[in-house]
Amino acid sequence: MTSSWKGQEAFTVILRIIPFLVTMLVAIGMFKGAGGIDLLTKLLSPILTPLHFPTDLVPLALMRPLSGSATLALLTDVVHRFGPDNIISLMAATIYGSTETTFYVVAVYFGSVGIKQTRHAIPAGLLADLTGVIASVIICRAVL
């Protein structure tokens, strides 16, 4: 393959991916800007408090499947508020490391090859993310 053909192929892939990425980033911005994360945190608080799940981790857990950079900002905020040695900071870092940006991965990888039906990929990815969040909290509580 010549390098010009590889460049042309890469440009074609980029053109196919851009609409998916722009749509996803706009939706994330609207959700955060409208206070959706804060509302969900308040709604889930009565359920999570008896389970000893820190409500400070809810925004991080909700944002992780959507955006890695937004989750990194939330993780940084948690570490600044609680300190690096606090159990909540350690749980947040473990959640960050054990979950994936599911919707971003689906948008980029499925979009780049033109797959429109994701079938079971999104539910399986979200279930894996939920498992990672729950396991992170349980393991951090058990170890620390």
SS3 annotation, 25-91? HHHHHHHHHCCHHHHHHHHHHHHHCCCCCCHHHHHHHHHCCCCHHHHHHHHHHHHHHHCCCCHHHHH
pLDDT in the model for residue 1? 52
Tokens of 30: 């609207």
Amino acid at 86: N
CA-CA distances (angstroms) from residue 61 to 95, 109, 127?
7, 22, 12
Query: Where does the pLDDT of residue 13 fall: very low under 50, low under 70, confident under 90, or very high at 90 and above?
Result: confident
Question: In angstroms, rounded to a whole number, what is the distance separating the alpha carbons of residues 124 and 122?
Answer: 5
Q: Where are the domains of the chain?
A: 3-143
Q: Does the pLDDT at position 135 exceed 80?
A: yes
Highest average pLDDT, of 27-31, 35-39, 131-135, comes from 131-135
For the stretch 79-114, pLDDT in tens is 999 999 999 999 999 999 999 999 888 888 887 787
Q: Is the pLDDT of residue 60 over 60?
A: yes
What's the rounded mean pLDDT across residues 6-12?
74
Tell me: pLDDT of 8 over 80.
no
What pTM was estimated for this model as a whole?
0.77
Q: Of the ranges 34-38, 100-104, 125-129, which one carries the lowest mean pLDDT score?
A: 34-38
Predicted confidence (pLDDT) at residue 56 exceeds the cutoff of 60: yes
Q: Is the Cβ–Cβ distance between 98 and 113 less than 8 Å?
A: no
**Token reading at 25:** 């980033």
